[in-house]
Amino acid sequence: MVFDQAAIARRVQDLGQEITRAYPDGELLLIGLLKGCFVFLADLARAIERPLQVDFLVASSYGAGKVSSGEVRLLYEPSVPLADRHILLVEDIIDSGRTLASLMDRLRSRGPRSLAICALLDKRIASPLPDLRFVGFTAPPAFLVGYGLDHAEEFRHLPYIADLS
Per DSSP, the three-state class of 89 is: strand
Report the pLDDT value the prediction gives residue 65, as an integer from 0 to 100.
Answer: 52
Q: Over the stretch 27-72, which tens digit does the pLDDT of each residue have?
A: 899 999 999 999 999 999 999 999 999 999 998 765 555 555 557 7
Give the sign of the dihedral formed by CA 21, CA 23, CA 26, CA 28. negative
| CATH entry, 5-63+71-163, from 3.40.50.11540, 3.90.190.20, 3.40.50.2020, 3.40.980.10 | 3.40.50.2020
| Active-site residue, from 14, 25, 92, 95 | 95
Backbone torsion region of residue 32, taken as left when φ is above 0, otherwise alpha when ψ lies between -120 and 50, otherwise beta:
beta
95 tagged catalytic? yes
Q: Which amino acid is at 69?
A: S
Of the candidates 116, 100, 106, 105, the one whose C-alpha atom is nearest the C-alpha of residue 33 is 100
Residues of the chain with pLDDT under 70: 61-70
Report the pLDDT value the prediction gives residue 16, as an integer from 0 to 100.
Answer: 98
Give the pairing type, strands 144-145 and 162-163: antiparallel
The conformation of residue 156, written as its DSSP 8-state character, comes to: T
Q: Where are the domains of the chain?
A: 5-63+71-163
